[in-house]
């Protein structure tokens, strides 16, 4: 099922429209997200999207100007959600390791809860070389990279992180998360029924990547004072800078 967050992001821009128009648009966004994730761009014809949405296929052109614009609306809405959060985190003056953990949590939350279709769509798109993305959409992952780069470089300057390549760090963190969430169905197929093998949860994997990042990047002088990474302290959902953090035990 397409995420509720995706539908909400478009609802705000539709204030004042007739209820029927809003429902049709939301139905097309939800149906498109499901089918693009399941079949890829080429495998999701307009008639199938319209049929799943329960509307006439002409409504895709009416609301979006065609299938490609519907596709871009879905991808851009998800990227906009990620970008707004990671840029806000990168501007935080909290310790760099904490900010990096929160940034990882944002990507995990978007991929597992807010926009669960996104990683499968993007894996298909990236393997094809991104032919359906326009320059505006291509610029969005660069903003995510810039946010990660800003956090990592600050951590190096402040002595919290050892000298590392920010681009390689970004690829390692974001790439592993996208692959994990994008291949969930295959992983379940391979591992289900295996004795003594428990399928990893989204929260467990996000915490695993958080721990790998903060401990793996830690400067030698700071490794002795490693962050407390107990589940109660490091929930997978990221704090929002500016809000009062919950009292730590």
Q: Are 178 and 88 in contact (CB under 8 A)?
A: no
CATH 1.10.10.60 fits 16-69, yes or no: yes
Q: What is the pLDDT of residue 225?
A: 52
Question: Three-state DSSP class for 245?
Answer: coil
Q: How many CB atoms within 10 Å of residue 97? A: 22
Helices (H) and strands (E) in the chain, counts: 11, 0
Rg of the chain in Å (alpha carbons): 20
**Structural fold of domain 73-225:** Tetracycline Repressor; domain 2 (1.10.357)
Closest alpha carbon to 200 in 183, 217, 175: 183
pLDDT tens digits for range 72-82: 999 999 999 99
Q: Are 145 and 87 in contact (CB under 8 A)?
A: no
The angle formed by the CA atoms of residues 182, 211 and 177, to the nearest 5 degrees, is 10
Nearest-angstrom CA–CA distance, 209 and 36 = 27
Low pLDDT (below 50) residues in the chain: 5, 8-19, 226-236, 239-249
pLDDT tens digits for range 124-162: 999 999 999 999 999 999 999 999 999 999 999 999 999
Q: What is the pLDDT of residue 149?
A: 97
Q: What is the pLDDT of residue 220?
A: 83
Q: What is the pLDDT of residue 16?
A: 44
Q: What is the pLDDT of residue 9?
A: 46
- What is the residue extent of each domain of the chain? 16-69, 73-225
């Amino acid at each position: 099922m397409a995420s509720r967050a995706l539908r909400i992001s478009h609802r705000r821009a539709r204030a004042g429209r007739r209820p029927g128009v809003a429902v049709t648009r939301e139905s097309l966004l939800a149906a498109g997200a499901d089918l693009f994730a399941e079949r890829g761009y080429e495998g999701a014809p307009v008639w199938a999207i319209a049929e799943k949405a329960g509307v006439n296929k002409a409504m895709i052109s009416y609301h979006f100007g065609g299938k490609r614009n519907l596709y871009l609306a879905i991808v851009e809405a998800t990227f906009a959600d990620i970008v707004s959060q990671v840029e806000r985190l990168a501007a935080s003056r909290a310790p760099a390791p904490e900010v990096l953990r929160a940034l990882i949590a944002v990507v995990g939350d978007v991929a597992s809860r807010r926009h669960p279709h996104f990683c499968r769509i993007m894996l298909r798109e990236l393997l094809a070389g991104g032919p359906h993305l326009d320059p505006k959409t291509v610029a969005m992952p660069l903003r995510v990279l810039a946010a990660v780069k800003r956090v990592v470089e600050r951590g190096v300057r402040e002595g919290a992180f050892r000298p590392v390549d920010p681009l390689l760090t970004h690829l390692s963190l974001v790439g592993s998360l996208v692959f994990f969430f994008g291949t969930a169905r295959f992983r379940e197929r391979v591992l289900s029924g295996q004795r003594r093998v428990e399928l990893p949860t989204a929260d467990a994997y996000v915490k695993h990547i958080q721990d790998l990042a903060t401990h793996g990047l830690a400067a030698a002088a700071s490794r002795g004072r490693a962050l407390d990474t107990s589940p109660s302290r490091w929930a997978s959902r990221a704090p929002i800078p500016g809000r009062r953090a919950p009292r730590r035990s």
